[in-house]
Amino acid sequence: MILVDAPRRRCLAVVLAAGEGKRMISGKPKVLHELAGRTMLAHVLAAIAAAGADRIAVVVGVGQEAVAAEAKRAAPEAQIFVQAKPLGTAHAVLAAKAALAEGFDDVLVAFADTPLVRPETFRGLRTALAETGAAVVALGFDAARPEGYGRFILEGDALVAIREHKDLAASELGLNRCNAGLMALAGASALPLLEAIGTANAQKEYYLTDAVGLAHARGLKAAAVTVAGEEVLGVNDREQLATAETVLQTRLRRAAMLAGVTLLDPGSVHFSFDTELAADVTVEPNVFFGPGVRVAGGSTIRAFSHLEGASVGEGCIIGPFARLRPGATLERDVHIGNFVEVKAAMLGAGVKANHLAYIGDATIGARSNIGAGAITCNYNGFAKFKTEVGEAVFIGVNSALVAPVKIGAGAYIGTGSVITENVEANALALARERQVQKPGWASAFRARNRK
């Protein structure tokens, strides 16, 4: 007998991103505020994609071109729809009616200001649709203090309605299974249910949650899936944004430690959404990882260092008080010490810059040593220029390499030199005034000034 796999269910995800977010008190749309170096909208789009959505529709408000642009940046294949007036969540979903009408098996509805929902939770909603045959699956959570939240109205295990807090009967106020807002609908019944939703409620809005009651009234099944409350935290103001950041940082730190990373003081380390640390990396307290950082195994990031857009090879030591800026690429066993800054530069294996140096727009050959106070002068006020340093070069203390300039392999740059011309391999380059000594000058100077 030949076994044939069941056809894969096709999924449309509708992401609601039209809210103005006035409580953020910001000139920037709410969903463009960031968590761990990525906008809330981009977090949601990434989770939706990971859950297997075949099509993504993003609903924005009138004049929200910046939100639409971020959606296209984060999910280039996403379709953008505009909600002409803010008339409620069901009305917002129907702004994507053209996509809904294409006939998907599953329709996920997500909110761009609920950025902590995991891909597996979205997949769980889809699984519930498939396994229960429900027309609607709603996501909820149990709250110790449910005031202000819509409630799940259950008859046994069956979900028969979701009631907004303002519309609750007195007997329902004690219910604590709350609505998280997210929902999955069977594609065949999604449009008929959404188009039947009215405004008979305290807010006179088209509530997406009414899809549950309508389904029940039509003899269709509705089901509930619950998760921890922190996963469905909605962000409406700066305080909630900070709370969401704390939750996300806790997740990222835990994932790093489970992957073999040592965090000496986990709570003081800040990760970005895409930070990649290999096993046996050690991170000391008060380290900040901006977006785009990768650190290979056996490296140590010492306290109070700041890394962004940097690649660190095996066995490197960074910091304390070091800064790696975008484009910094370090091969194995590089030492970057206190108050050293590296930007758009490649440092070969075994390079040492142990203190008080700036290396920008440069290539530094393997085993070279950069002395304290040495800098690459890469910018003339209008354009950037490159410095090329060969292998096993010694750059003396307080030297300035004025780009564009090339230093040959094995060369020595004398302390305090300003190098403006290329230096050949294995040469000693000195570029400073010859020392002059005038005996007795200091005594005469003091004597003249005492009169």
Measured N-to-C along each axis, helices 65-74 and 40-50 cross at an angle, to the nearest 10 degrees, of: 40
> For residue 99, how many other CB atoms are within 10 A of its CB?
18
Asked whether 237 and 23 are in contact (CB, 8 A), the reply is yes
Query: Number of C-alpha atoms within 13 angstroms, CB side, residue 42?
Result: 17
Return d(Cα 46, Cα 101) in angstroms, integer: 24
**DSSP of 401-444:** EESSEEE-TT-EE-TT-EE-S-B-TT-EE--SPPP---TTHHHH
Return d(Cα 132, Cα 245) in angstroms, integer: 35
Return d(Cα 283, Cα 300) in angstroms, integer: 6
* Angle at the Cα of 62 from the Cα atoms of 56 and 64, rounded to 5 degrees: 65
Return d(Cα 253, Cα 246) in angstroms, integer: 11
Asked whether 285 and 262 are in contact (CB, 8 A), the reply is no
Among all chains, which residue has been given the structure tokens 């044939």?
4
Return d(Cα 447, Cα 280) in angstroms, integer: 65
355 is catalytic: yes
Which of the residues 43, 91, 216, 355 is marked catalytic?
Answer: 355
Question: Which amino acids are annotated catalytic?
Answer: 355
